[in-house]
Amino acid sequence: MNIKCIIVEDEPLARTLLEQYIQKVPYIELAESFSNPLEALDFLHQNSIDLLISDIQMPELTGISLLKILPVKPLIILTTAYPEYALEGYELDVMDYLLKPVTFERFLQAIEKAQSRLMTIKLAGNQEHILARSFIFVKDRTKQVKIKLEDIIYVEGLKDYIIIYTKDRRIVPLQTLKSFENQLPSSQFIRIHNSYIVSFDAIEAIDKEKVQIIPITYQTGAPAKTFLPISDTYRKAFKEFIERKTN
């Protein structure tokens, strides 16, 4: 995912160096670069960013003071030539602290940390959004079909399409199993095989190599399965999923 950031640095050479580092990283977008923290503050009141890279010691307003003023804080990386400021920065939930002169290797390490943190935040937000819903829509031929999550028993992936087995019907959308997995709440559904996702509520028994699910009695174009295999790739994650649900 792309990271939108700004630089706040009153030293021209240090600011130029950070700008050059950012140009080398393809997933960072530099929205603005400021020498004056007050101008940066005005920008932040009107714009949202993912990451703020700021020097600590600046004449008009210190980087620490800037952080304290911000009502909504992005991820923050502080830079300074004085390591004694690090402790106060971390108390303000600063993500990383770079000691000048900043090397590209150390800069990239901090950016990788920022990307990882942002992805975690995004995934958590997606899951909250998913959990707030009790249904999803999928495209079945020419129409959008509404499916209650509680009705899904299991999903089978077959190349570029999937088969969704519910309590009363079978739906065949043209999409990958991975993309459909991303639509489901991870607290309710678990991938157990390259070809199968199963609902926890549909599991009747668990064997070492397979799970037994509730029977599907309605007529389908192909017989529905009663036992689904657990592959080695997903065995550990499945075991942890079951432990979370039962403890």
Domain count, the chain: 2
Q: Are residues 11 and 122 in the same domain?
A: yes
On the 0-12 / 13-18 / 19+ scale of CB atoms within 10 A, 154 is buried
180 and 155 within one domain: yes
Q: What is the pLDDT of residue 109?
A: 93
Checking if the pLDDT of 247 tops 60, the result is yes
CATH code assigned at 48: 3.40.50.2300
Closest alpha carbon to 136 in 124, 126, 146, 125: 146
Nearest Cα residue to 203 out of 186, 228, 180, 236: 228
Same domain, 123 and 139: no
Beta bridge partners of 229: 210
Domain check: are 87 and 141 in the same one?
Answer: no
Helix 12-24 to helix 104-131 angle, to the nearest 10 degrees? Answer: 60
Are the C-beta atoms of 181 and 189 separated by less than 8 Å?
A: yes
Over the stretch 144-201, which tens digit does the pLDDT of each residue have?
Answer: 889 999 999 999 999 889 999 998 899 999 888 888 888 888 889 999 999 999 999 9
To 5 degrees, how large is the angle CA 235–CA 151–CA 214?
55
Does the pLDDT of residue 138 top 70, yes or no?
A: yes
Same structural domain for residues 97 and 181? no
How do residues 87-132 score in pLDDT, each as one tens digit? 454 455 688 889 899 999 999 999 998 988 888 777 666 665 666 6
Q: Which of 86, 106, 130 is the last residue of a domain?
A: 130
Instruction: Looking at the structure, tell me whether residues 48 and 118 fall in a common domain.
Output: yes
Query: Which position has the token pair 């190599």?
Result: 209
Which residue segment(s) compose the domain that 180 sits in? 135-246
On whether both 145 and 118 belong to a single domain, the answer is no
CATH number of the structural domain spanning residue 181: 2.40.50.1020
At residue 3, the pLDDT reads 93
Give yes or no: residues 8 and 124 share one domain.
yes
Whether 5 has a pLDDT exceeding 60, the answer reads yes
- pLDDT range class, residue 84, cuts 50, 70, 90: low
Q: 124 with 146, same domain?
A: no
**Mean pLDDT score of the chain, rounded to an integer?**
86
